[in-house]
Structure formats: C-alpha cells, structure tokens
Amino acid sequence: MKIFIAGKMPDIPKLRFIIGIIVILFCFNILVWIAVFQVSQPRLLKVVFFDIGQGDAIFIETPRKTQILIDGGPSGKVVEKLGQELPFSDRSIDLIIATHPDKDHISGLVEVLKSYQVGLVGTTGIKGLSGEFNEFTTEIENNGSTEVILKKGQKIIIGQLAIEVFAPLESFEGREVNDTNVSSLVLKAVYGNNSFLLTGDAPQSVEKKLVQEDISSQVLKVGHHGSASSSSDSFLQKVNPEFAVIQVGQNNSYGHPAEEVLERLEKYGIMVMRTDQLGDISFLADGQRLLKD
Ligand SMILES: [Zn+2]
C-alpha cells in the first residue's frame, strides 16, 4: 500500500536546520540538569585522621577536591593511606603542612613528596637538626613545591574552608631549637559551623596562651598523642569539643595516651576516638552537621 503524506514537505536544508536546533536544545537541557544535580548534591568537606601508627597525619578534601595533608606520620604508610583516598590517576596534593620537624610528623611527608606532585608546603620556617629534616628540605626542592611560612594570625582560605593559624606564638623562622614541640603549628579548620582544632604536639605552655583565643571546636586533635604534657583542664574547657581524636600507635613506648588525659577528657564528657583502636577516623562536614563517615 502506498502512503501519501498531505501537505508540502519541508526542503532538506530547512529540515537539517530544524534537527540542528532540536539537538542543541536537547544538549542544553542535559547541561541544565547536570547543573541542577550538582547544586543539589551536599557540599561535603572530608577530614580523615589516618591510622599511621605513632604519629600524626590528617587528610582534608574540600568539595571541589582540593587536597591537603597536615603532617605525614613516621613512615611511608601515609602514601598507602592517600592511595585509598585519591583516585589512581590523581598524583598531586595541593598543600601539605608540617606542624613541626619531629620524625613522627615529617618522615611520612618526605615519602609523600617523593610520590606526589605537591603544590604548596606550609611550615614554620624552623631549622630541624635531624637527617629526616634535611631530607624533607631536599625533597621540597626536588618536587619543585613552593614553601610558605605560616604565621600566627594568618588564614588559608580554600573556597568555604578557612584554616586559621593560632600558633606558634612566636616566629621560629631560621631558628634551631631543642624543644620542637613548642614550635608546633596549631591550626583551626573552619567550614561553616563545623570546626577542627589541630594542635600538633603543642605543650601546655602554649595551650595556656591559646585559651585567650577563639579556639572552641567540634573536633579536637588531642595534642602530642595524648601525652600528659598537653591537654590541660583550662584548654579542654575552652576548646569544649564534642569529639577528641588521639592519633597514637598501638603499644607505643611513650605510654601515650596518658591515663590522666583520658580521665580529663571523660570528665568533660568528650567522646574519645583513638586511631590505635578504631583505625582511620573520618568525618564529613556539610557546614552545619558533622557526620561520622
Ligand atoms: Zn608527635
């Protein structure tokens, strides 16, 4: 049977034009839906306290995938941990920060500098006395990273995330000191109403000065792996955290965390989370609520 179509058929160039318009509109429609989907996604900040044994290593990833590592722990284990967080193709970290030059904080950073392209390296500018510190300095150069000396009162702004520098209280730039813990960077990561206080190994003498500042935070990375030399009563009262994370190795020779610090944390009703007991400890923050990952 023959089929007849009444009316005048559009000529071919006109038909192509109409199809072209339809295709453009269709693509535009898809782009709009992708944008709507992205806006409706919760914009989450991820903070992971790695279980890397006796030492600190804290990974932060912003919703736009800016990656930050604060301290690297005592060994290359941190590279393994980063491999779990980053896609295989991602071989770069935007910012690493060394709170102070002790082995249990910078040895892992040396391995990170060997394995990843690192944009910025935040330090106090202190001169370390150890072989590890020399290696750290060499690897910053080899990596081609830019070293930034962080000072009290500065803020690192990455989108909605602000990392405020509260200590060291004085400049350690170019200095060699025996008590490196005093030189520790103390940082507060603020994301909307969520906040994390990262204290390195800062001792009570530093805490005493910090209680005059706005250090209140939802999560406290307990100073010096739970040593009795940190976490004074007045400091814990001022920070007033919901969670206290202790980055500590199993059966460590220092006896960290100290029983008296655990008792103090309990006294103030702070939930204690230890990497030696729980492994990696992750939080997701949406600027309002804090979710345990
Ligand atoms: Zn330490």
Predicted confidence at residue 39, as pLDDT, reads 54
Predicted confidence at residue 180, as pLDDT, reads 96
Q: Give how far the C-alpha of residue 291 lies from the chain's centroid of Cα atoms, to the nearest Å.
A: 16
Give residue 116's identity as a one-letter amino acid code: Y
Distance from the alpha carbon of residue 40 to the mean position of ligand 1, in angstroms: 40
pLDDT digits (tens, 9 = 90+) for 61-72: 999 999 999 999
Predicted confidence at residue 235, as pLDDT, reads 98
% of the chain surpassing 70 pLDDT: 90
Distance from the alpha carbon of residue 44 to the mean position of ligand 1, in angstroms: 29
Exposed/middle/buried for residue 251 (C-beta within 10 Å: 0-12, 13-18, 19+): exposed
- Inform me whether the pLDDT recorded for 245 exceeds 50: yes
Q: Give how far the C-alpha of residue 242 lies from the chain's centroid of Cα atoms, to the nearest Å.
A: 19
Predicted confidence at residue 37, as pLDDT, reads 57
- Output the average pLDDT for the chain: 92
Distance from the alpha carbon of residue 181 to the mean position of ligand 1, in angstroms: 8
- Inform me whether the pLDDT recorded for 10 exceeds 80: no
Buried b / exposed e along 105-118 (16+ C-beta atoms within 10 A)? bbbbbbbbbebbeb
Distance from the alpha carbon of residue 193 to the mean position of ligand 1, in angstroms: 28
pLDDT level of residue 124 (50, 70, 90 thresholds): very high
Predicted confidence at residue 137, as pLDDT, reads 96
Distance from the alpha carbon of residue 104 to the mean position of ligand 1, in angstroms: 5
Q: How far apart are CA 265 and CA 271, in angstroms?
A: 8
Distance from the alpha carbon of residue 53 to the mean position of ligand 1, in angstroms: 11
pLDDT level of residue 1 (50, 70, 90 thresholds): very low
- Least confident window among 21-25, 94-98, 166-170: 21-25
Q: Are 210 and 187 in contact (CB under 8 A)?
A: no
What is the set of domains in the chain, with CATH numbers?
43-292 (3.60.15.10)
Distance from the alpha carbon of residue 180 to the mean position of ligand 1, in angstroms: 10
pLDDT digits (tens, 9 = 90+) for 34-50: 665 555 566 999 999 99
What value does the mean pLDDT take over residues 105-120? 98
pLDDT digits (tens, 9 = 90+) for 87-109: 999 999 999 999 999 999 999 99
Predicted confidence at residue 81, as pLDDT, reads 98
Q: How far apart are CA 151 and CA 173, in angstroms?
A: 10
pLDDT level of residue 60 (50, 70, 90 thresholds): very high
pLDDT digits (tens, 9 = 90+) for 129-153: 889 999 999 999 999 999 999 999 9
pTM score of the predicted model: 0.86
